[in-house]
Amino acid sequence: MKPDLIIHGAGIFGLTLAWEATLRGARVVVADPYGIGAGSSGGIVGALAPHVPENWNAKKAFQLQSLLAAEAFWAKVAATSGRDPGYARTGRLQPLADDAAVDLARARTLGAESLWQGRAVWRVRKASGVWCPPSPTGLVVEDTLTGRIHPRLALNALAAAIREKGGVIGAEAPSTAPTVWATGAVGLEDLSRSLGRTVGTGIKGQALLLDHAAPEAPQLFVDGLHIVPHADGTTAIGSTTERDTIDLITDGQLDGLLARAVAAVPMLAEAKVIERWAGLRPRARSRAPMLGPWPDRPGHFVANGGFKIGFGMAPGIARVMADLVLEGRDTIPDGFRVTDNT
């Protein structure tokens, strides 16, 4: 097959773009010598969490559209592949520490009414039930926009859907078609080397997976910790942010995460730890996604910078990259360009 598009990197950015391009009729080859999900997308957390509905900007608006698009996007992947990507919009609860936090949350309720276009709500309600974090005010914020995805199930479903439609995923690619580099933290290093300046770097994070089934329960966000119940009867706890190391070893910091999770939801003390995992979040210098032509390399493009919200942004980024590479239309939001980092 002579491809219309070559994508290096079988993480969430590479595979969502391959899927979007396949749906637009392109013949796609994805190449990854390390295999599907070998980078940070092969992790365990999968929170699809929105930005707070205030101080609106292009990044927040883009993320909102991407989160809203996720339901139809993943439903189509599931229908084509016959596999469950583990997506659901199960919502999220966050405790409110004091009166100031309650006032701010109530102001954001109004923000959500206009900024979230009636598609989801952000409301203050009483903290109640066993799956609810303790809250000093007795109140929590509940939003109905937050979702979750099972990272590995999602990648497997995407790969199966792409193959079902005739796309090819393997270790190598030919070199005679427009080429997108969706190569995560390694790609940021490659691009930095090629341009002679640092455009971004990998930021280490560790997370835990527990054998605790609460598949319909909302996600909890407590003291900076994500507690994410998944479709397959597991619950993820994430994550650390470590700026000084890029080794992928897990360590005692995960015991600290677990202790904080148990303090928030005591029943998690009974759950067995199934996995301890570390990965590198690809963070562009701007902290926003980094999209567009590879400077000085005609026919080559970059899709990178997913950082902490790559899964939430992926459907939107796939659309923008397909517009650019397949149709020559530049729909990249302000602040998301490769040149914003050079």
31 binds ligand FAD (CB under 6 A): yes
115 binds ligand FAD (CB under 6 A): no
122 binds ligand FAD (CB under 6 A): no
| Structure tokens, 5 | 């598009």
292 binds ligand FAD (CB under 6 A): no
Span of 33-41, 126-134, 265-273, 324-332 interacting with ligand FAD by CB under 6 A: 33-41
238 binds ligand FAD (CB under 6 A): yes
Q: Which is nearer to ligand FAD, 39 or 53 (CB)?
A: 39
Task: Restricting to residues 215-234, name those near ligand FAD by CB under 6 A.
Answer: 226
289 binds ligand FAD (CB under 6 A): no
- Nearest-angstrom CA–CA distance, 282 and 185: 5
Question: Least separation, in Å, of the C-beta of 337 and ligand FAD?
Answer: 16
Q: Which of 17, 21, 39, 221 binds ligand FAD (CB under 6 A)?
A: 39
Task: Restricting to residues 185-204, name those near ligand FAD by CB under 6 A.
Answer: 185-186
205 binds ligand FAD (CB under 6 A): yes
The number of residues that bind ligand FAD (CB under 6 A) is: 41
Q: What is the DSSP letter of 314?
A: H
309 binds ligand FAD (CB under 6 A): yes
Q: Which is nearer to ligand FAD, 47 or 265 (CB)?
A: 47
Q: What stretches of the chain show up as alpha helix (H) in DSSP? A: 12-23, 58-81, 99-115, 151-164, 184-195, 253-264, 310-327
237 binds ligand FAD (CB under 6 A): no
38 binds ligand FAD (CB under 6 A): yes
Q: What is the DSSP letter of 337?
A: B
258 binds ligand FAD (CB under 6 A): no
Is the Cβ–Cβ distance between 153 and 74 less than 8 Å? no
Question: Least separation, in Å, of the C-beta of 68 and ligand FAD?
Answer: 15
Is the Cβ–Cβ distance between 162 and 18 less than 8 Å? yes
316 binds ligand FAD (CB under 6 A): no
Segment (H or E) for 95: strand 92-95
E strand residue ranges, 137-289: 139-143, 147-148, 168-170, 179-181, 200-210, 219-222, 225-229, 235-238, 273-284
Q: What stretches of 82-139 show up as alpha helix (H) in DSSP? A: 99-115
34 binds ligand FAD (CB under 6 A): yes
What CA–CA distances, in Å, run from 339 to 70, 148, 289, 329?
28, 31, 11, 17
10 binds ligand FAD (CB under 6 A): yes
Q: Who contacts 58 (Cβ-Cβ below 8 Å, separation ≥6)?
A: 333, 334, 335, 336
- Nearest-angstrom CA–CA distance, 203 and 240: 10
Other C-beta atoms closer than 10 Å to the C-beta of 329 total 11
Q: What stretches of 116-219 show up as alpha helix (H) in DSSP? A: 151-164, 184-195
Q: Which is nearer to ligand FAD, 139 or 333 (CB)?
A: 333
CB hemisphere CA count around 35 (13 angstroms): 4
Question: Least separation, in Å, of the C-beta of 66 and ligand FAD?
Answer: 10
Question: Least separation, in Å, of the C-beta of 138 and ligand FAD?
Answer: 28
Q: Which is nearer to ligand FAD, 139 or 264 (CB)?
A: 264
Span of 19-27, 79-87, 102-110, 310-318 interacting with ligand FAD by CB under 6 A: 310-318
Q: Which amino acid is at 213?
A: A
8 binds ligand FAD (CB under 6 A): yes
The binding site for ligand FAD (CB under 6 A) comprises 8-14, 31-34, 38-41, 43, 45-47, 182-186, 205-207, 226, 238-239, 279, 281-282, 304, 306-312
